[in-house]
Amino acid sequence: MKKGFVRSIQYILLIFLCVASAFIFLSAFKNESILLMISASFSFIVALLLLFTLSHQRKQLHSYAPEIPKKSSSTFMTSFSNISVTFENIAGLDEIKDELYQIKDFIKHPDKYRRLGASMPGGILFYGPPGTGKTMLAKALAKESGVNFIYASGSEFVEKFVGIGASRIRSLFDKARSQKPCIIFIDEIDSIGATRNSDNNSERDQTLNQLLIELDGFYSEPGITFIAATNRIDILDEALLRPGRFDRHIYIPVPSFVARRDILKTHLAKKPVEANIDYDNLSLKMNGMSGAHIASVVNEAALMCVKKSKTKISGAELDEAIIKVVAGLRNKSIILSENERHRVACHEAAHAIVSHELAAGRISRISILPHGKALGFVLNTAQQERYLLTKTELMNKICVLLAGRCAEELIFNEITTGAENDLLEANSLAESMVCSYGMSKYKNKTFRNTEASTATVNNEISEILNSCYEQTEQLLQENMPVLEAVAHILYKKEVLYEDEFYRIIQSCKKAQ
């Protein structure tokens, strides 16, 4: 307001100088006065300077004005002919594919459903961990249905200026109405669908409000299917999740043992592989991996074969690829001292021995070669897929995690920073036992993260960790000759494989 007043005074002064210069010029011309002519020229120069100043200020004002970004609705469009993914390319999600086959049939043959009064589900929400195939399922549905596929990411609707996101939502749905039949797919919908706050005038909330409006009146029009995907269903707004907007919430889990085996076979089907690959063993080693991880493992194995000038992928390359994906690249720049290598060998050997004694899994490999941030690792393969864990099994897991730190204290009478990740995992697991699973001395009671319960929770976590540490210490003392033998050979060879590890244990047991 103050700047506007000053600018007005400047314009008035400019007009006054122009008029004064004109009068002085006329007077000078009539009287033929040199003095008046100089005064007129001076007034004219001042007026020009003032005009230049005002013009420069105006340009600066326009240069600071923000440009509102625009996004054409045509950029959302993807023809189904450009999609190469089909349901045959997707393995390990048979139940979900059965659901989508019905959606595909509805899109292609709507009349037989309408005769029975059935209507298309109000929306489909895929949720689950990253890399499990949510986007791939939406693409396959579009390809199998033979309809246009409109893809957008949730972040495309997030803008600095209020109203832009809502405008893009309207543009997206207008495009869908003009391209029926089609499928709209919004990936990472949590970017715009998070729970609204008290400030309902924010850009994100305005965008969500527009999406809610479009979804409410959208499915009265046949030929349009709305699908969304997210990794964070817990933060989505309740109004977005209600029936009528999303009638089907489909959870896409991390693949099970059978699913991992099918995914592995699917990725290796069109690649030259050796005949003796053990798919079951590899699937057990990939426990917890998503479909994206398995695809990465297969690709890394193929790259290794090219590097070795091999013509077929073998189990050895796949094993190495699993290590590369799980542990990271081999870090050759880290050169450990002899003392450090000895400590790491004892640390990793302790993990393996405690795991063996507690039957927590089968040891596939022990290494003291640095990979990624880790100075060593133990590859522990589960004997079978487990969906329920007892309290004893969880305590055994904590014992395995604490074994490295315990071995350092027993052998060197000193602890190091090498157990950082082990301690984080052990504390996290103990916290889950207390707060979520009701496995503390309070039995079935669970705890929320509040100040009132913090001291109680911390005491219970400490009791679990101390109990597990004492059990681990007793196991290592009883198996000290085995620990020293495994650590000694690991120190020399740097890598121990499954058969070598169990051979050392058997020889030590016989010697005792």
Phi/psi for 374 (5° steps) reads -85, 140
* Contact (CB, 8 A) for 192 and 207: yes
Q: Which residues contact 115 (CB under 8 A, 6 or more apart)?
A: none
Phi/psi for 376 (5° steps) reads -170, 170
232, 238, 242, 246: CA torsion to nearest 10: -30
For residue 64, what are its two tokens?
Answer: 């600071």
Among residues 168, 155, 153, which one has the least CA distance to residue 68? Answer: 168
Query: Checking DSSP bridges between strand 124-127 and strand 248-251, what pairing results, if any?
Result: parallel
368-394 exposure pattern, b = at least 16 Cβ within 10 A, e = fewer: bbbbeebbbbbbbbeeeeeeeeeeeeb
* Contact (CB, 8 A) for 322 and 285: yes
201: which DSSP letter? T
381, β-bridge pairs: 362
Residues carrying an active site annotation: 348
Question: Letter for the amino acid at 251?
Answer: Y
For residue 209, what are its two tokens?
Answer: 């409000």
Could you identify the residue written with the tokens 């504390």?
427
What's the rounded Cα separation, in Å, for the pair 381 and 501? 14
Longest dimension (CA), the chain: 130
Q: Quick one: the chain helix, strand, coil %, rounded to 5?
A: 60, 10, 30
160: which DSSP letter? S
- How many helices (H) and strands (E) the chain has is answered by 19, 9
